Structure 1
Amino acid sequence: MFQYVRSVIFIIQMYISMPVVGLLFAPWAMFSRKGAYAACKTYSRYVFWTASWMVGLRCEVRGTVPQGEALIAAKHQSFLDIMMIFTALPAAKFIMKKEILMTPVIGQYARRLGCVAVDRGKRGAAIEKMVADVNAGRAEPGQLIIYSQGTRVPPGKKMPYKVGTAVLYEQLNQPCVPVATNVGVLWPKRGMLRKPGVAVVEFMPQIAPGMERNAFMKELETSVEDRSDALMVEAGFERDETS
Protein backbone atom coordinates (compact mmCIF):
# COMPACT_ATOMS: atom_id res chain seq x y z
CA MET A 1 0.00 0.00 0.00
CA PHE A 2 2.84 2.41 0.88
CA GLN A 3 4.45 1.87 -2.55
CA TYR A 4 1.11 2.55 -4.23
CA VAL A 5 0.67 5.85 -2.35
CA ARG A 6 4.22 6.87 -3.27
CA SER A 7 3.47 6.00 -6.89
CA VAL A 8 0.33 8.15 -6.98
CA ILE A 9 2.20 11.13 -5.52
CA PHE A 10 5.01 10.62 -8.03
CA ILE A 11 2.58 10.49 -10.98
CA ILE A 12 0.70 13.60 -9.86
CA GLN A 13 3.83 15.71 -9.50
CA MET A 14 5.20 14.32 -12.78
CA TYR A 15 2.19 15.55 -14.76
CA ILE A 16 2.02 18.86 -12.91
CA SER A 17 5.66 19.54 -13.77
CA MET A 18 5.14 18.87 -17.51
CA PRO A 19 3.32 22.14 -18.39
CA VAL A 20 5.58 24.04 -15.99
CA VAL A 21 8.72 22.95 -17.83
CA GLY A 22 6.97 23.43 -21.17
CA LEU A 23 6.07 27.02 -20.38
CA LEU A 24 9.49 27.86 -18.93
CA PHE A 25 11.24 26.74 -22.11
CA ALA A 26 8.58 27.99 -24.54
CA PRO A 27 10.27 31.32 -25.47
CA TRP A 28 13.49 29.49 -26.40
CA ALA A 29 11.70 26.56 -28.07
CA MET A 30 9.63 28.89 -30.27
CA PHE A 31 12.74 30.19 -32.01
CA SER A 32 15.15 27.28 -31.77
CA ARG A 33 14.80 23.51 -32.07
CA LYS A 34 17.64 23.31 -29.55
CA GLY A 35 15.28 24.89 -27.07
CA ALA A 36 12.68 22.19 -27.72
CA TYR A 37 15.28 19.47 -27.21
CA ALA A 38 16.50 21.14 -24.02
CA ALA A 39 12.95 21.32 -22.63
CA CYS A 40 12.14 17.68 -23.33
CA LYS A 41 15.44 16.39 -21.99
CA THR A 42 15.21 18.57 -18.89
CA TYR A 43 11.73 17.25 -18.16
CA SER A 44 12.79 13.64 -18.74
CA ARG A 45 15.80 13.94 -16.45
CA TYR A 46 13.57 15.49 -13.80
CA VAL A 47 11.25 12.47 -14.05
CA PHE A 48 14.20 10.07 -13.76
CA TRP A 49 15.46 11.93 -10.69
CA THR A 50 12.11 12.00 -8.90
CA ALA A 51 11.42 8.36 -9.78
CA SER A 52 14.71 7.32 -8.17
CA TRP A 53 13.93 8.70 -4.71
CA MET A 54 10.14 8.79 -4.70
CA VAL A 55 9.44 5.22 -5.87
CA GLY A 56 12.90 3.62 -5.97
CA LEU A 57 12.93 3.30 -9.77
CA ARG A 58 16.33 3.89 -11.36
CA CYS A 59 16.91 4.33 -15.11
CA GLU A 60 19.87 2.86 -16.98
CA VAL A 61 20.91 3.06 -20.64
CA ARG A 62 23.14 0.29 -22.00
CA GLY A 63 24.92 -0.37 -25.26
CA THR A 64 26.43 1.97 -27.83
CA VAL A 65 24.19 4.97 -28.45
CA PRO A 66 24.35 6.08 -32.11
CA GLN A 67 25.54 9.62 -32.67
CA GLY A 68 24.94 9.90 -36.41
CA GLU A 69 21.92 9.32 -38.62
CA ALA A 70 20.17 6.03 -37.92
CA LEU A 71 16.80 4.33 -37.77
CA ILE A 72 16.02 3.32 -34.18
CA ALA A 73 13.63 0.33 -33.99
CA ALA A 74 12.57 0.03 -30.37
CA LYS A 75 10.49 -2.10 -28.06
CA HIS A 76 7.72 0.00 -26.49
CA GLN A 77 6.25 -0.85 -23.08
CA SER A 78 5.42 2.46 -21.39
CA PHE A 79 5.92 6.23 -21.36
CA LEU A 80 9.23 5.70 -19.57
CA ASP A 81 11.03 4.08 -22.51
CA ILE A 82 10.06 7.07 -24.68
CA MET A 83 11.83 9.45 -22.31
CA MET A 84 14.86 7.19 -21.82
CA ILE A 85 15.51 6.63 -25.53
CA PHE A 86 14.89 10.29 -26.40
CA THR A 87 17.23 11.56 -23.68
CA ALA A 88 20.02 9.14 -24.64
CA LEU A 89 20.08 10.18 -28.31
CA PRO A 90 21.60 13.48 -29.49
CA ALA A 91 18.92 14.40 -32.07
CA ALA A 92 15.90 12.12 -31.78
CA LYS A 93 12.49 12.39 -33.38
CA PHE A 94 9.63 9.91 -33.35
CA ILE A 95 7.22 8.26 -35.73
CA MET A 96 3.96 8.78 -33.81
CA LYS A 97 0.22 8.51 -34.18
CA LYS A 98 -1.25 11.81 -35.33
CA GLU A 99 -3.57 12.09 -32.29
CA ILE A 100 -0.55 12.89 -30.12
CA LEU A 101 -0.15 16.20 -31.94
CA MET A 102 -3.42 17.31 -30.32
CA THR A 103 -2.09 16.62 -26.81
CA PRO A 104 -1.34 19.78 -24.78
CA VAL A 105 2.39 20.51 -24.38
CA ILE A 106 3.51 17.15 -25.83
CA GLY A 107 1.89 17.87 -29.19
CA GLN A 108 3.41 21.33 -29.53
CA TYR A 109 6.88 20.10 -28.69
CA ALA A 110 6.53 17.06 -30.97
CA ARG A 111 5.87 19.42 -33.89
CA ARG A 112 8.85 21.56 -32.94
CA LEU A 113 11.15 18.54 -32.82
CA GLY A 114 10.07 17.45 -36.31
CA CYS A 115 8.33 14.23 -35.26
CA VAL A 116 6.49 12.40 -38.06
CA ALA A 117 2.75 11.89 -37.46
CA VAL A 118 0.86 9.07 -39.21
CA ASP A 119 -2.70 7.77 -39.30
CA ARG A 120 -2.49 4.23 -37.94
CA GLY A 121 -5.97 3.42 -39.21
CA LYS A 122 -4.89 3.68 -42.86
CA ARG A 123 -1.95 1.34 -43.12
CA GLY A 124 -0.89 1.80 -46.75
CA ALA A 125 -1.43 5.56 -46.77
CA ALA A 126 0.30 5.85 -43.38
CA ILE A 127 3.45 4.14 -44.68
CA GLU A 128 3.48 6.33 -47.82
CA LYS A 129 3.08 9.48 -45.76
CA MET A 130 5.69 8.32 -43.26
CA VAL A 131 8.30 7.79 -45.96
CA ALA A 132 7.43 11.10 -47.68
CA ASP A 133 7.60 13.05 -44.42
CA VAL A 134 10.90 11.44 -43.46
CA ASN A 135 12.42 12.19 -46.84
CA ALA A 136 11.16 15.77 -46.65
CA GLY A 137 12.88 16.13 -43.29
CA ARG A 138 16.33 15.02 -44.39
CA ALA A 139 17.57 18.58 -43.91
CA GLU A 140 17.32 17.91 -40.17
CA PRO A 141 19.63 14.92 -39.64
CA GLY A 142 19.27 12.80 -36.56
CA GLN A 143 17.89 9.56 -35.24
CA LEU A 144 14.38 8.51 -36.30
CA ILE A 145 12.63 6.33 -33.70
CA ILE A 146 9.93 3.88 -34.69
CA TYR A 147 8.13 1.40 -32.47
CA SER A 148 8.02 -1.62 -34.72
CA GLN A 149 4.99 -3.21 -33.05
CA GLY A 150 3.08 0.05 -33.36
CA THR A 151 1.94 0.29 -29.75
CA ARG A 152 2.88 -0.41 -26.14
CA VAL A 153 3.18 -4.15 -25.55
CA PRO A 154 2.95 -5.39 -21.93
CA PRO A 155 5.58 -7.87 -20.67
CA GLY A 156 4.72 -11.43 -21.63
CA LYS A 157 2.49 -10.44 -24.55
CA LYS A 158 3.38 -11.00 -28.20
CA MET A 159 2.44 -8.73 -31.07
CA PRO A 160 3.64 -8.82 -34.70
CA TYR A 161 6.31 -6.48 -36.03
CA LYS A 162 4.85 -4.18 -38.67
CA VAL A 163 6.24 -3.76 -42.16
CA GLY A 164 6.59 0.03 -41.82
CA THR A 165 9.97 -0.43 -40.14
CA ALA A 166 11.28 -2.42 -43.13
CA VAL A 167 9.95 0.20 -45.57
CA LEU A 168 11.80 2.96 -43.74
CA TYR A 169 14.94 0.82 -43.49
CA GLU A 170 14.91 0.35 -47.27
CA GLN A 171 14.04 3.96 -48.13
CA LEU A 172 16.47 5.64 -45.74
CA ASN A 173 19.42 3.34 -46.51
CA GLN A 174 20.71 3.94 -42.99
CA PRO A 175 21.82 1.52 -40.28
CA CYS A 176 19.02 0.29 -38.04
CA VAL A 177 19.70 0.11 -34.31
CA PRO A 178 17.39 -2.27 -32.40
CA VAL A 179 16.52 -1.25 -28.84
CA ALA A 180 15.38 -3.67 -26.13
CA THR A 181 13.78 -2.77 -22.81
CA ASN A 182 12.26 -4.05 -19.58
CA VAL A 183 10.52 -0.87 -18.40
CA GLY A 184 7.04 -2.38 -18.56
CA VAL A 185 7.86 -4.65 -15.62
CA LEU A 186 8.37 -1.64 -13.36
CA TRP A 187 6.30 1.07 -15.06
CA PRO A 188 3.34 -0.77 -16.64
CA LYS A 189 1.22 0.27 -19.60
CA ARG A 190 -1.80 0.70 -17.32
CA GLY A 191 -2.26 1.24 -13.61
CA MET A 192 -0.73 3.58 -11.04
CA LEU A 193 1.81 1.34 -9.32
CA ARG A 194 5.47 2.07 -10.02
CA LYS A 195 7.79 -0.66 -8.74
CA PRO A 196 11.32 -0.20 -7.39
CA GLY A 197 14.13 -1.59 -9.53
CA VAL A 198 16.32 -0.80 -12.52
CA ALA A 199 14.56 0.13 -15.76
CA VAL A 200 16.82 -0.52 -18.75
CA VAL A 201 16.84 0.43 -22.40
CA GLU A 202 19.63 -1.24 -24.32
CA PHE A 203 20.92 -0.20 -27.74
CA MET A 204 21.80 -3.38 -29.63
CA PRO A 205 24.42 -3.87 -32.38
CA GLN A 206 23.29 -2.08 -35.52
CA ILE A 207 21.91 -3.81 -38.59
CA ALA A 208 23.73 -2.53 -41.66
CA PRO A 209 21.64 -1.20 -44.57
CA GLY A 210 20.95 -3.40 -47.57
CA MET A 211 19.44 -6.56 -46.08
CA GLU A 212 16.53 -8.30 -47.81
CA ARG A 213 13.22 -7.31 -46.21
CA ASN A 214 12.20 -10.63 -44.64
CA ALA A 215 15.70 -11.33 -43.35
CA PHE A 216 15.87 -7.84 -41.86
CA MET A 217 12.53 -8.20 -40.07
CA LYS A 218 13.49 -11.61 -38.67
CA GLU A 219 16.83 -10.34 -37.37
CA LEU A 220 15.22 -7.24 -35.86
CA GLU A 221 12.47 -9.15 -34.07
CA THR A 222 14.79 -11.86 -32.77
CA SER A 223 17.31 -9.32 -31.49
CA VAL A 224 14.77 -7.10 -29.72
CA GLU A 225 12.55 -9.84 -28.31
CA ASP A 226 15.32 -12.12 -27.02
CA ARG A 227 17.16 -9.30 -25.29
CA SER A 228 13.96 -7.73 -23.91
CA ASP A 229 12.97 -11.10 -22.45
CA ALA A 230 16.36 -11.35 -20.71
CA LEU A 231 16.11 -7.79 -19.36
CA MET A 232 12.59 -8.44 -18.05
CA VAL A 233 13.77 -11.53 -16.17
CA GLU A 234 16.57 -9.38 -14.74
CA ALA A 235 13.88 -6.97 -13.46
CA GLY A 236 11.99 -9.79 -11.76
CA PHE A 237 9.42 -10.70 -14.42
CA GLU A 238 8.20 -14.29 -14.38
CA ARG A 239 6.82 -15.42 -17.71
CA ASP A 240 3.65 -17.47 -17.73
CA GLU A 241 4.68 -20.45 -19.85
CA THR A 242 1.02 -21.35 -20.45
CA SER A 243 0.18 -18.03 -22.15
Structure 2
Amino acid sequence: MAVAAHCAAAGCCRRICRDKAGCTAETEGARIVFQYVRSVIFITQMYIAMPLFGLAFAPWAYFSRKGAYAACKSYSRYVFWTAGWMVGMRCEVRGTPPDGEALVAAKHQSFLDIMMIFTALPSAKFIMKREILRTPVIGLYARRLGCVAVDRGKRGKAIEKMVADVHAGRAEPGQLIIYSQGTRVAPGRRMPYKVGSFVLYEQLSQPCVPVATNVGVLWPKRGMLRKPGVAVVEFLPVIEPGMARDDFMELLETSVEERSDALMAEAGFKGLPNA
Protein backbone atom coordinates (compact mmCIF):
# COMPACT_ATOMS: atom_id res chain seq x y z
CA MET A 1 0.00 0.00 0.00
CA ALA A 2 2.86 2.33 0.88
CA VAL A 3 4.54 1.45 -2.42
CA ALA A 4 1.35 2.23 -4.33
CA ALA A 5 1.03 5.56 -2.56
CA HIS A 6 4.68 6.37 -3.36
CA CYS A 7 4.19 5.53 -7.04
CA ALA A 8 1.03 7.64 -7.22
CA ALA A 9 2.85 10.57 -5.63
CA ALA A 10 5.78 10.20 -8.02
CA GLY A 11 3.43 10.14 -11.00
CA CYS A 12 1.68 13.24 -9.74
CA CYS A 13 5.03 15.03 -9.32
CA ARG A 14 6.02 14.12 -12.87
CA ARG A 15 2.73 15.48 -14.19
CA ILE A 16 3.20 18.70 -12.19
CA CYS A 17 6.74 19.09 -13.56
CA ARG A 18 5.50 18.55 -17.11
CA ASP A 19 2.68 21.02 -16.54
CA LYS A 20 5.11 23.59 -15.12
CA ALA A 21 7.52 23.11 -18.02
CA GLY A 22 4.66 23.52 -20.48
CA CYS A 23 3.42 26.64 -18.73
CA THR A 24 6.95 28.07 -18.62
CA ALA A 25 7.43 27.43 -22.35
CA GLU A 26 4.06 29.00 -23.15
CA THR A 27 4.83 32.02 -20.97
CA GLU A 28 8.24 32.48 -22.61
CA GLY A 29 6.69 32.17 -26.06
CA ALA A 30 4.06 34.77 -25.22
CA ARG A 31 6.74 37.08 -23.82
CA ILE A 32 8.78 36.86 -27.05
CA VAL A 33 5.72 37.51 -29.21
CA PHE A 34 4.80 40.54 -27.07
CA GLN A 35 8.38 41.86 -27.26
CA TYR A 36 8.38 41.37 -31.03
CA VAL A 37 5.16 43.36 -31.40
CA ARG A 38 6.60 46.14 -29.23
CA SER A 39 9.77 46.08 -31.36
CA VAL A 40 7.84 46.45 -34.63
CA ILE A 41 5.92 49.42 -33.23
CA PHE A 42 9.15 50.98 -31.94
CA ILE A 43 10.98 50.57 -35.27
CA THR A 44 8.01 51.89 -37.27
CA GLN A 45 7.66 55.07 -35.23
CA MET A 46 11.45 55.55 -35.23
CA TYR A 47 11.60 55.64 -39.03
CA ILE A 48 8.50 57.83 -39.25
CA ALA A 49 10.13 60.31 -36.85
CA MET A 50 13.41 60.46 -38.82
CA PRO A 51 12.19 62.57 -41.79
CA LEU A 52 10.00 64.66 -39.47
CA PHE A 53 13.04 65.68 -37.41
CA GLY A 54 15.09 66.15 -40.58
CA LEU A 55 12.57 68.45 -42.23
CA ALA A 56 11.77 70.37 -39.05
CA PHE A 57 15.42 71.28 -38.46
CA ALA A 58 16.38 71.67 -42.16
CA PRO A 59 16.09 75.50 -42.35
CA TRP A 60 18.44 75.87 -39.37
CA ALA A 61 20.77 73.09 -40.52
CA TYR A 62 21.03 74.60 -44.01
CA PHE A 63 22.73 77.70 -42.64
CA SER A 64 24.41 76.34 -39.53
CA ARG A 65 26.54 73.37 -38.54
CA LYS A 66 25.19 73.86 -35.04
CA GLY A 67 21.69 73.33 -36.41
CA ALA A 68 22.73 70.06 -38.05
CA TYR A 69 24.14 68.77 -34.77
CA ALA A 70 21.02 69.85 -32.89
CA ALA A 71 18.81 67.92 -35.31
CA CYS A 72 20.84 64.71 -35.28
CA LYS A 73 21.34 64.68 -31.52
CA SER A 74 17.70 65.52 -30.82
CA TYR A 75 16.58 62.64 -33.02
CA SER A 76 19.07 60.24 -31.41
CA ARG A 77 17.92 61.17 -27.91
CA TYR A 78 14.33 60.68 -29.01
CA VAL A 79 15.24 57.16 -30.16
CA PHE A 80 16.98 56.42 -26.83
CA TRP A 81 13.93 57.65 -24.93
CA THR A 82 11.42 55.63 -26.92
CA ALA A 83 13.66 52.53 -26.77
CA GLY A 84 13.57 52.80 -22.99
CA TRP A 85 9.82 52.73 -22.48
CA MET A 86 8.76 50.85 -25.62
CA VAL A 87 11.17 47.89 -25.64
CA GLY A 88 12.92 48.17 -22.25
CA MET A 89 16.35 49.08 -23.66
CA ARG A 90 18.47 51.60 -21.76
CA CYS A 91 21.41 53.30 -23.50
CA GLU A 92 24.57 53.97 -21.49
CA VAL A 93 27.87 55.65 -22.42
CA ARG A 94 30.95 54.77 -20.38
CA GLY A 95 34.48 56.11 -20.36
CA THR A 96 35.57 59.60 -21.40
CA PRO A 97 34.68 60.82 -24.90
CA PRO A 98 37.32 63.11 -26.46
CA ASP A 99 36.42 66.78 -26.72
CA GLY A 100 39.23 67.86 -29.06
CA GLU A 101 40.53 66.72 -32.44
CA ALA A 102 40.72 62.91 -32.40
CA LEU A 103 40.27 59.75 -34.41
CA VAL A 104 37.54 57.55 -32.91
CA ALA A 105 38.03 53.89 -33.93
CA ALA A 106 34.84 52.06 -33.04
CA LYS A 107 33.33 48.61 -33.02
CA HIS A 108 30.22 48.63 -35.23
CA GLN A 109 27.32 46.24 -34.56
CA SER A 110 24.14 48.13 -35.45
CA PHE A 111 22.53 51.50 -36.19
CA LEU A 112 22.26 52.15 -32.47
CA ASP A 113 26.01 52.41 -31.83
CA ILE A 114 26.22 55.10 -34.53
CA MET A 115 23.68 57.25 -32.68
CA MET A 116 25.19 56.61 -29.24
CA ILE A 117 28.76 57.48 -30.26
CA PHE A 118 27.63 60.50 -32.27
CA THR A 119 25.57 61.89 -29.40
CA ALA A 120 28.40 61.40 -26.89
CA LEU A 121 30.88 63.47 -28.95
CA PRO A 122 30.78 67.27 -29.21
CA SER A 123 31.63 67.51 -32.94
CA ALA A 124 31.44 64.07 -34.55
CA LYS A 125 31.80 63.41 -38.27
CA PHE A 126 31.97 60.23 -40.36
CA ILE A 127 33.60 58.73 -43.41
CA MET A 128 30.70 57.69 -45.66
CA LYS A 129 29.89 56.67 -49.23
CA ARG A 130 29.53 59.58 -51.65
CA GLU A 131 26.07 58.32 -52.73
CA ILE A 132 24.74 59.14 -49.26
CA LEU A 133 25.80 62.77 -49.60
CA ARG A 134 23.69 63.01 -52.77
CA THR A 135 20.42 62.13 -51.01
CA PRO A 136 18.15 65.17 -50.41
CA VAL A 137 17.86 65.45 -46.61
CA ILE A 138 20.59 63.14 -45.29
CA GLY A 139 23.09 64.65 -47.72
CA LEU A 140 22.42 68.13 -46.37
CA TYR A 141 23.12 67.03 -42.81
CA ALA A 142 26.19 64.97 -43.76
CA ARG A 143 27.77 67.93 -45.55
CA ARG A 144 26.99 70.29 -42.68
CA LEU A 145 28.58 67.90 -40.17
CA GLY A 146 31.77 67.79 -42.24
CA CYS A 147 31.50 64.11 -43.17
CA VAL A 148 34.12 62.79 -45.59
CA ALA A 149 32.78 61.43 -48.90
CA VAL A 150 34.38 58.27 -50.28
CA ASP A 151 33.95 56.89 -53.82
CA ARG A 152 33.83 53.12 -54.27
CA GLY A 153 37.36 51.85 -54.87
CA LYS A 154 38.87 55.31 -54.27
CA ARG A 155 39.11 55.37 -50.48
CA GLY A 156 42.84 56.15 -50.64
CA LYS A 157 42.30 59.35 -52.63
CA ALA A 158 39.56 60.47 -50.26
CA ILE A 159 41.83 59.96 -47.26
CA GLU A 160 44.66 61.89 -48.96
CA LYS A 161 42.33 64.83 -49.64
CA MET A 162 40.95 64.75 -46.10
CA VAL A 163 44.45 64.77 -44.58
CA ALA A 164 45.45 67.66 -46.86
CA ASP A 165 42.31 69.59 -45.83
CA VAL A 166 43.06 69.00 -42.13
CA HIS A 167 46.61 70.24 -42.48
CA ALA A 168 45.49 73.25 -44.53
CA GLY A 169 42.77 74.15 -42.02
CA ARG A 170 39.96 73.57 -44.53
CA ALA A 171 38.36 70.57 -42.80
CA GLU A 172 35.63 70.99 -40.21
CA PRO A 173 37.10 70.46 -36.73
CA GLY A 174 35.92 67.58 -34.60
CA GLN A 175 36.16 63.88 -33.93
CA LEU A 176 36.39 61.63 -37.00
CA ILE A 177 34.59 58.30 -36.48
CA ILE A 178 35.90 55.29 -38.38
CA TYR A 179 34.73 51.69 -38.11
CA SER A 180 37.95 49.71 -38.03
CA GLN A 181 36.45 46.49 -39.40
CA GLY A 182 34.76 48.36 -42.24
CA THR A 183 31.25 47.02 -41.63
CA ARG A 184 28.77 45.88 -39.00
CA VAL A 185 29.95 42.74 -37.24
CA ALA A 186 27.43 40.55 -35.42
CA PRO A 187 28.20 39.47 -31.82
CA GLY A 188 30.37 36.36 -31.73
CA ARG A 189 31.82 36.89 -35.22
CA ARG A 190 35.47 37.76 -35.82
CA MET A 191 36.55 39.98 -38.69
CA PRO A 192 39.98 41.51 -39.35
CA TYR A 193 40.74 45.13 -38.56
CA LYS A 194 41.54 47.16 -41.67
CA VAL A 195 44.77 49.09 -41.96
CA GLY A 196 42.88 52.27 -42.89
CA SER A 197 42.61 53.07 -39.19
CA PHE A 198 46.39 53.22 -38.94
CA VAL A 199 46.72 55.28 -42.13
CA LEU A 200 44.46 57.96 -40.65
CA TYR A 201 46.11 57.70 -37.22
CA GLU A 202 49.56 58.17 -38.76
CA GLN A 203 48.77 60.88 -41.30
CA LEU A 204 46.48 62.98 -39.10
CA SER A 205 48.89 62.75 -36.14
CA GLN A 206 45.91 62.81 -33.80
CA PRO A 207 45.19 60.67 -30.74
CA CYS A 208 43.04 57.62 -31.37
CA VAL A 209 40.21 56.68 -28.99
CA PRO A 210 39.04 53.05 -29.31
CA VAL A 211 35.35 52.33 -28.62
CA ALA A 212 33.88 49.00 -27.52
CA THR A 213 30.20 48.05 -27.53
CA ASN A 214 27.59 45.37 -26.88
CA VAL A 215 24.63 46.93 -28.71
CA GLY A 216 24.37 44.11 -31.25
CA VAL A 217 23.20 41.76 -28.50
CA LEU A 218 20.07 43.86 -27.92
CA TRP A 219 19.73 45.58 -31.31
CA PRO A 220 20.93 43.00 -33.87
CA LYS A 221 22.30 43.65 -37.32
CA ARG A 222 19.34 41.84 -38.87
CA GLY A 223 15.82 41.13 -37.68
CA MET A 224 13.11 43.15 -35.98
CA LEU A 225 13.37 41.97 -32.37
CA ARG A 226 14.76 44.55 -29.94
CA LYS A 227 15.62 43.11 -26.54
CA PRO A 228 15.40 44.68 -23.08
CA GLY A 229 18.67 45.40 -21.30
CA VAL A 230 21.51 47.92 -21.11
CA ALA A 231 23.13 48.85 -24.44
CA VAL A 232 26.64 50.20 -23.83
CA VAL A 233 29.28 52.02 -25.81
CA GLU A 234 32.52 52.51 -23.90
CA PHE A 235 35.31 54.93 -24.76
CA LEU A 236 38.61 53.22 -23.95
CA PRO A 237 42.02 54.70 -22.99
CA VAL A 238 43.56 56.98 -25.62
CA ILE A 239 46.24 55.71 -27.99
CA GLU A 240 48.63 58.62 -28.35
CA PRO A 241 50.21 59.47 -31.74
CA GLY A 242 53.52 57.94 -32.76
CA MET A 243 53.05 54.16 -32.53
CA ALA A 244 54.34 51.82 -35.24
CA ARG A 245 51.75 50.14 -37.45
CA ASP A 246 51.89 46.61 -36.04
CA ASP A 247 51.90 47.83 -32.44
CA PHE A 248 49.00 50.19 -33.09
CA MET A 249 46.87 47.60 -34.88
CA GLU A 250 47.49 44.98 -32.19
CA LEU A 251 46.65 47.38 -29.36
CA LEU A 252 43.52 48.67 -31.12
CA GLU A 253 42.14 45.22 -31.92
CA THR A 254 42.99 43.67 -28.56
CA SER A 255 41.53 46.50 -26.49
CA VAL A 256 38.31 46.79 -28.51
CA GLU A 257 37.66 43.05 -28.85
CA GLU A 258 38.41 42.15 -25.23
CA ARG A 259 36.28 44.95 -23.84
CA SER A 260 33.45 44.32 -26.31
CA ASP A 261 33.44 40.63 -25.31
CA ALA A 262 33.14 41.64 -21.65
CA LEU A 263 30.27 44.03 -22.41
CA MET A 264 28.46 41.42 -24.50
CA ALA A 265 28.80 38.86 -21.70
CA GLU A 266 27.41 41.49 -19.31
CA ALA A 267 24.38 41.77 -21.61
CA GLY A 268 23.84 38.00 -21.43
CA PHE A 269 25.36 36.94 -24.77
CA LYS A 270 26.38 33.26 -24.70
CA GLY A 271 28.02 32.87 -28.11
CA LEU A 272 31.50 34.17 -27.26
CA PRO A 273 34.62 32.01 -27.71
CA ASN A 274 35.40 30.11 -24.48
CA ALA A 275 32.16 31.41 -22.96
Specify the alignment match of 2:262 in structure 1: 230
Report the counterpart of residue 106 of structure 2 in structure 1.
74
Q: Which residue matches 2:15?
A: none
Q: How does 1:161-240 map to 2 (within 5 A)?
A: 161-239=193-271
Query: Unaligned stretches of 5+ in structure 2?
Result: 1-32
Tell whether the 8 Å contact from 1:92 to 1:142 is kept in structure 2 after alignment.
yes
Structure 1 segments (4+ residues) deviating >4 Å: none
The normalised TM-score by structure 1 is: 0.94
Report which of the two structures shows the higher radius of gyration computed on alpha carbons.
2
Moved more, 139-148 or 172-181: 139-148
- The residue correspondences of 1:40-79 to structure 2 (distance < 5 A) are 40-79=72-111
Aligned length: 240
Deviation at 1:136, TM superposition (A): 1.5
Distance 1:152 1:103, change over 3 A: farther
Structure 1 residue ranges without an equivalent (≥5): none
The answer as to 2:162 corresponding to 1:127 is no
Question: Quick one: percent identity of the two aligned structures?
Answer: 77
Whole-Å separation in 1 of the counterparts to 2:191 and 2:160:
23
CA distance in 2, matches of 1:148, 1:10: 29
Call closer, same or farther: CA 1:240–1:183 in 2, change over 3 Å: closer
Residue matched to 1:101: 133
**Hey, what does 2:24 align to over in structure 1?**
none
Q: Give the drift of 1:109.
A: 1.1
Once the two structures are overlaid, the 10-residue window that deviates more, 64-73 or 103-112, is 103-112
**Cα contact 1:177–1:204 (8 A) shared by 2:** yes
Q: Contact between 2:62 and 2:140, CA under 8 Å: does it hold in 1? A: no
SS of residue paired to 1:47: helix
**Which of the two has greater helix per residue?**
2
1:128 Cα offset (Å): 2.7
Number of the residue aligned with 2:182: 150
